[in-house]
């Protein structure tokens, strides 16, 4: 009888510790899964970076927000950064706000200056009236 009680006690203790271990590790694994995110530029901004005017036009017609930030920058900032003057003109015609600041605190004009994007800078200055 003593052996049965002792064996039963060991089994119960082992099961209890396993349950507690699962409860402790489970939230950690859920938290770990939530922290892994895929960070990338939006497809609209990718089209801007590539200078794909036709795709940018189509996306604007479909309702894409020309002032929506992707990784902290607006599409106009990407156009200025990569000197995509034709795309930049299209964005300005469709209401791009050139006075917005990126998450780093830079404007569209500053990105053009930093990148030495002369064509984009001319378009920006004309739009801003500077």
Note the pLDDT tens digit of each residue in 77-117.
Answer: 999 999 999 999 999 999 999 999 999 999 999 999 999 99
CATH number for the domain spanning 107: value is 1.25.40.20
Q: What is the pLDDT of residue 56?
A: 96
* Residue 93, in any domain of the structure: yes
Give the phi and the psi of residue 73 in degrees, each rounded to 5: -130, 145
Q: Which percentage of the chain shows pLDDT scores above 70?
A: 73
Domain that holds residue 52: 43-129
Residues 125 and 6: their CA atoms lie apart, in Å, by 85
pLDDT given at position 73: 96
- Gap between the Cα atoms of 74 and 122, Å rounded: 19
Phi, psi of 70 (to 5 degrees): -135, 120
Has this prediction a pTM greater than 0.85?
Answer: no
Does residue 118 belong to any structural domain of this protein? yes
Number of domains, the chain: 1
């Amino acid at each position: 009888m003593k052996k049965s009680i002792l064996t039963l006690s060991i089994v119960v203790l082992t099961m209890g510790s396993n349950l507690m271990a699962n409860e402790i590790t489970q939230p950690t694994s859920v938290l770990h899964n939530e922290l892994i995110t895929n960070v990338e530029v939006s497809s609209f901004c990718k089209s801007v970076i590539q200078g794909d005017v036709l795709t940018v036009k189509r996306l604007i017609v479909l309702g894409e927000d020309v002032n929506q930030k992707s990784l902290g920058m607006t599409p106009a900032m990407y156009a200025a950064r990569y000197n995509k003057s034709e795309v930049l003109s299209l964005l300005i015609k469709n209401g791009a706000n050139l006075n917005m600041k990126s998450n780093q605190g830079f404007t569209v004009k500053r990105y053009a200056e930093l990148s030495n994007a002369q064509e984009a800078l001319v378009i920006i200055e004309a739009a801003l009236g500077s």
